[in-house]
Amino acid sequence: MPAPTRLSERISRIAVSATMKVATDAAKLRARGRDIVDFGPGEPDLPTPANVKLAGIRAIQDNFTRYTAAGGTQELREAICERHAADFGTSYTPSECAVSAGGKHALFNILQALIDPGDEVVVPLPHWSTFHDIVSYCGGVSVHAPTEEAGAFAITASLIERHLTDKTRALIINSPCNPTGEVIPAEEWERIYAVTSKRGIWLISDECYSHLVYEGQPFSATSIRGARSTVIVAGSLSKTYAMTGWRIGYVLAPPRVASAVAKLQSQSTSNPNSVAQKAAVEALRGSQEFRTEMLAEYRQRRDLGLAGLQAIPGIRCHEPKGAFYLYPNIRPLLGRNWIQSTTQFAEQLLEQAGVAVVPGEAFGTTEHIRITFAVSRRDLERGLLRLKTFVADLAE
């Protein structure tokens, strides 16, 4: 009998996450003893707050180590609804909430529940590549709506409207945006909602960076009046509470969508980690001081990073209003030293200067690199200095 060789057609539609690839490449060099400054991962360098860690330890000691409901404990779903009400003035109930193993998992399950083969999902460009891959995995088609750098990558209702067709089933918005840091103003959100709701299109709002805004107040699409029946939130504790490894995300949605997500989990992952669920309750109900402190620290790092980039000839960077990424344009540097693309630029920068960044191609643009400023100030300064030297050494 020949050995089986065939994988499903479905699995070949997706690629390994670009940020994970950068992390793997950086880890390989580190294993060879190289000192790498890692601007790749979208991950806070700060530790999980002490009260949250203690809640996790307590959960283990109390033997809270068994299966829970597939869509998360009642206690955590209540805590998510309470926190959302306190932050955004909403009134969700646990039947409109499902807890997943991170925001990515929440998004994956939402799209699995909504999208059939051939359905179109509009996604502004540049965007987190996972959106595109998950939609493809569902058999859907992601329709990219390109924003303009000259307009600070603004996502507008008119841009969205131009990309809607009879096949559009959903729109995915991520504000603050990974990778551009663009934050959609509340009035524009209203217009976007008006455009989608009148055509019966789901508005999926990825709010994983919603608390990382450097101007104005955090915003949730669920606070748009009347939006509750068509808006679906994919939320996460990963960035807001420095809990990336704990894997807790959530869905806030009409009950049949939340139940569909829980049903899918009941046949796939089962519940999110029980210990992490207890820690998440503490994160949401305990002191929120951490969020304020983290934001103040990130603002300083953003300013430091921006100033450092602006001092490098050939690099131009707009000021991100949210999230923790800088998305500089490096077009004048392409073509030097046989570097033709941002992927090649990132490879050479890692190999020669020991700095890991994510190429813009991973987000659908051809002239940018993404730099995380959720790294220590020391690393930020060291990495930018290395970048400056690397650029200065590129032959014209």
Query: Which residues of this chain interact with ligand PLP, rule CB under 6 A?
Result: 42, 102-104, 128, 174, 178, 206, 208, 236, 238, 244, 249
**Distance separating alpha carbons of residues 93 and 214, to the nearest angstrom:** 30
Q: How far is CA 323 from the centre of its chain?
A: 9
Closest CA to 383 of 324, 320, 319, 301: 301
Contact 141, 163 (CB under 8 A): no
Taking the least distance from each CB to ligand PLP, the nearer of 18 and 69 is 18
Taking the least distance from each CB to ligand PLP, the nearer of 104 and 386 is 104
**Distance separating alpha carbons of residues 66 and 3, to the nearest angstrom:** 38
| Minimum separation from the CB atom of position 310 to ligand PLP (A) | 24
**Distance separating alpha carbons of residues 74 and 93, to the nearest angstrom:** 10
How crowded is the C-beta side of 294, counted as CA atoms within 13 Å? 26
Taking the least distance from each CB to ligand PLP, the nearer of 49 and 354 is 49
| Minimum separation from the CB atom of position 114 to ligand PLP (A) | 17
Burial 377-391 (b: 16+ CB within 10 A, else e): eebbebbbebbbebb
| Minimum separation from the CB atom of position 206 to ligand PLP (A) | 5
| Minimum separation from the CB atom of position 43 to ligand PLP (A) | 7
Q: How far is CA 51 from the centre of its chain?
A: 25
| Minimum separation from the CB atom of position 10 to ligand PLP (A) | 21
- Report how far apart, in Å, the C-alpha atoms of 341 and of each of 25, 329, 361 are: 18, 12, 8
Taking the least distance from each CB to ligand PLP, the nearer of 102 and 359 is 102
| Minimum separation from the CB atom of position 263 to ligand PLP (A) | 20
Taking the least distance from each CB to ligand PLP, the nearer of 174 and 273 is 174
Helices (H) and strands (E) in the chain, counts: 12, 12
In the block, which residue shows the tokens 């300013």?
A: 303
Closest CA to 265 of 249, 242, 254: 249
Taking the least distance from each CB to ligand PLP, the nearer of 205 and 391 is 205
| Minimum separation from the CB atom of position 236 to ligand PLP (A) | 3
**Distance separating alpha carbons of residues 42 and 40, to the nearest angstrom:** 7
Count of Cβ atoms closer than 10 Å to residue 211 Cβ:
19
Taking the least distance from each CB to ligand PLP, the nearer of 101 and 391 is 101
Contact 172, 151 (CB under 8 A): no
| Minimum separation from the CB atom of position 243 to ligand PLP (A) | 8
Taking the least distance from each CB to ligand PLP, the nearer of 68 and 244 is 244
